[in-house]
Amino acid sequence: MDIKALLYGITSFLMPFIPHLLQPPAEKAAAVPAVPIDELAFMWAKAIMEKLRPKLKQRQALKDAMQQAAELPLDDDARASFRLQLRKIIEGDDALAKELSEMWIAMSAQGVGVELDRELGGAQWIEILNRDDDVLRRLEMVRLLRSGMPPEKIAGEFHTDVQYLYRVNAAFAQSGVYGILSGSNIRHWLDNMNMDDPVLRRLDMIALLRSGVPAETIAKEYHCVKEYVYRINDRFAKHSLTGILTEEDFQKYRALNPKIVRICSFNLHGTHENDAQRFRQIAGQLSANDPELCVYQEVINGAGIGETSAQIAALMTKTTGYYYRTHYSYCHLFMDKYPEGVAVSCRYSMKNPQTIDLNNGLTAGVRPLMERFAAAAEVEIYGRRFVFASVHLDHSRDPDVRRAQAEKLLKSLDSIYGDGVYCTIVAGDFNDVEDSPVITFLRDQGYADTYRACHKTGGNTFPNSANPHTRIDYIMVRGGVRVHDAQLILRDPSLSDHIGVYAVIE
């Protein structure tokens, strides 16, 4: 809060109470006339006095000034003397100034205090300055506005318009004198935004109040009452931006952000010579879809290479502002050299991340040609439990191997995550076509093929070329959701030998 405003406010507020505050309790009845007192206001006056009492013992001049004010409560000189001594202690004690400012704001919110515009209006401009100086004239406009003079009157006196007056005040609030040095280049932080946006207007009110502009001045500019200004400032302090949003704001947000979950699946095809550039392109295209969940296959993590899915997640975090986490599960060596596996990634905290074995204990004793594992985790979205898994099923010529792997995966997910799961998502490179035993098995278990739910034909994902001839990458979902959309993404052959899959469920 502006120190000058605080000084004028506290001085004027305390004047009627000083006789009551200075007399010892035993002498009050005899020394002070029985005049009705506003009990709430007197409570605040006593609280302020308790903050000042240590200073009374240290500064005789302050004590004398208060005694004079008690004897001559209507005398302007006595009031000015008290204000001067008060200024000396406040300017030399930042902690006390802060405490008094907070008390003033709190009591004002309860309707206790004085009209600052009336009190500040009595503060005289230093007449010896050059009043033809343009910068000083703008300073005077700010002073008069903050002292409570009607903006129309100030604009008329300085031959300008009210909107320019408010711009000068805002520029001074934001940058001090430097903000108003050039009269033709007064900048406002809302200049390149929608100045009619109610949320931005509330933020501007808070910024003005915190820069020292009196609440009365802000209330006039924004056609509200000062209590509203204090209210939104208090809510912003406690809850940040969400504290000043209205139900209408939340309705607009929900219209832009319906309860949908966006999922991406992509086979990264190991490592390439141009991985840095390739990962930037992948992250950029994925970020454009704002996915909540991502699953990756052929993820490299080792042999001098940092986890490739984590590299993409870090780039997506920088691009979107969401924090993408990853969970990686090693499977086998890529090209007999690079540790390769699968990964899940999401912008929510992952619970109980798991690596699920898809090699041992398969139906009929079948075995995959290469070691295979699934990466799985649980997340909470819209208050519901979601479980999602990334798979890269075996490339054996025997389709029953992949069916057996899917069967073990579902049993493991049920065993690990138990009942109460709202939606389960199994996605990745299944190494099989859609009429294969593995996809048929998943459908029989209640899983929906998201792409086929939206498109009767098409959807081939391999190889990534102008004419991919087979469909082996899927996003399969089960639970209380509806498939809203599904598309093929990441179709640039330089990114991978697979095309990516994208699905939206609600």
Structure tokens at 487: 């598309």
Mean pLDDT on 1-29:
72
Q: What's residue 31's pLDDT?
A: 47
What is the reported pLDDT for 126? 39
d(CA 366, CA 392): 17
Question: pLDDT tens-digit profile of 439-473?
Answer: 999 999 999 999 999 999 999 999 999 999 999 99
Q: Examine the pLDDT at 226 and tell me if it is beyond 50.
A: yes
Question: From the CB of residue 101, how many other CB atoms can be counted at a distance below 10 Å?
Answer: 19
- What was the pLDDT predicted at 144? 85
SS3 143: helix
Q: How far apart are CA 342 and CA 428, in angstroms?
A: 9
d(CA 230, CA 504): 43
Q: Give the bridge partners for 392, in sequence order.
A: 429
Which has the minimum average pLDDT: 128-137, 351-360, 439-448?
A: 128-137
Distance between CA atoms of residues 193 and 191, nearest Å: 6
Confidence check: pLDDT of 142 > 90: no
Please tell me the predicted confidence (pLDDT) of residue 116.
57
245-253, Cβ contacts within 8 angstroms, sequence gap of 24 or more: 245/199, 246/198, 249/198, 249/199
Query: CA-to-CA distance for 206 and 414, rounded, in angstroms?
Result: 51
Among 44-53, 229-238, 279-288, 335-344, whose mean pLDDT is lowest?
44-53
Does pLDDT of 294 surpass 60? yes
- 73 pLDDT band (50/70/90 cuts)? confident
pLDDT value at position 318? 95
pLDDT of residue 128: 36
Task: Tell me how far apart the alpha carbons of residues 443 and 421 are, in angstroms, rounded to a whole number.
Answer: 18
Hey, what amino acid is at 97? A
- Residue-wise pLDDT tens digits, 261-284: 999 999 999 999 899 999 999 999
Q: Is the pLDDT assigned to residue 320 strictly greater than 80?
A: yes
Is the model's pLDDT at 417 over the cut of 50? yes
Contacts of 280 (CB under 8 A, 6+ apart): 315
Instruction: Measure CA 406 to chain center.
Output: 40
Residue 138 has pLDDT above 90, yes or no: no
pLDDT at 209 over 60: yes
Which pLDDT belongs to residue 115?
62
What predicted TM-score, i.e. pTM, was given to this entire model?
0.60
pLDDT at 380: 96
Distance CA 390, CA 344 (A): 6
Cα angle at 302 between 299 and 303, to 5 degrees? 125
